[in-house]
Amino acid sequence: MRKRSYLTVRNLPPDVASELEREQKLRGTSLNQTVVNALRKGLGLGTERKSNGLAALAGKWTDQDLEEFEAAIRDVAEKVDEELWR
């Protein structure tokens, strides 16, 4: 089958057209990109999540990182500050 890089859609229902325009404004993308994104999602091709850049900051500790952290706080957490308890 020949790959097509364009598509014309006829008789687009008004509610679909309105929703595409709303989505376009919400996302700040072109109408074409909005339609491509909607098609990818509808076909199950757009299921990958875009990174928000926070993955490097959350949930990335290794076992060694955890051991080092626990060792660092162990001495502090287990000591009683005599001045606070007078």
Q: How many CA atoms lie within 13 A of 28 on its CB side?
A: 0
18 or 73: which leads in pLDDT: 18
- 3-state secondary structure at position 16: helix
The full set of domain ranges for the chain reads: 14-48+58-85
Contacts of 34 (CB under 8 A, 6+ apart): 20, 23, 24, 27
Residue 51: what pLDDT? 61
In this prediction, residue 75 has a pLDDT band, given cuts at 50, 70 and 90, of confident
The pTM is what?
Answer: 0.49
| 16-71 tens-digit pLDDT | 999 999 999 998 889 999 998 899 888 888 655 566 666 666 767 788 988 888 88
Q: Please check whether residue 38 is in contact with residue 23, taking contact to mean a CB–CB distance below 8 angstroms.
A: yes
From 24, 20, 22, 4, select the one nearest 12 (Cα to Cα): 20
pLDDT at 50: 63
